[in-house]
Amino acid sequence: MRITQKQLRQIIKEELTRANEMYGAMPHRRFGATPEEVQAKIDYYRGEGSRMWMRGTEMEYEDMAAGGDAGGIRQDYYPNWNDGDFSAVLVAVSGGY
């Protein structure tokens, strides 16, 4: 069976819509955190949350930046973040990754 480009586009659109509804994601957030979310986390760990930025937290972010789940933290608290989002926080707060 052959399909046209128009049919393929429609199938892709339907699948993306279904995935977004199933996971509760907004269309603009499918591929990672928004820049505002990343900046808010950076500001938090540089400000009021600076006492929380201990080696344990840094290690969790390193794990998630490398594609890990940090013991369920990623899927529970950062389901829309990609590896680069965690790297950005590490670089901003720790000075590198």
Please indicate, yes or no, whether residues 18 and 40 belong to a single structural domain of this protein: no
Reported as a single tens digit per residue, the pLDDT across 88-97 is: 999 999 886 6
Please indicate, yes or no, whether residues 38 and 64 belong to a single structural domain of this protein: yes
CA-CA-CA-CA torsion sign (52, 53, 54, 58): positive
Please indicate, yes or no, whether residues 64 and 54 belong to a single structural domain of this protein: yes
Total of domains in the chain: 2
**Residues near 43 by beta carbon (within 8 Å), at least 6 away in sequence:** none
Quote the pLDDT of residue 25: 47
Task: Name the residue type at position 92.
Answer: A
Quote the pLDDT of residue 69: 93
Please indicate, yes or no, whether residues 79 and 57 belong to a single structural domain of this protein: yes
Please indicate, yes or no, whether residues 22 and 36 belong to a single structural domain of this protein: no
Structural domain range at position 21: 1-29
Q: Choose from 32-36, 50-54, 60-64 the range with maximum mean pLDDT.
A: 60-64
Is residue 7 pLDDT above 70, yes or no? yes
Residue 54 pLDDT level (bands cut at 50, 70, 90)? confident
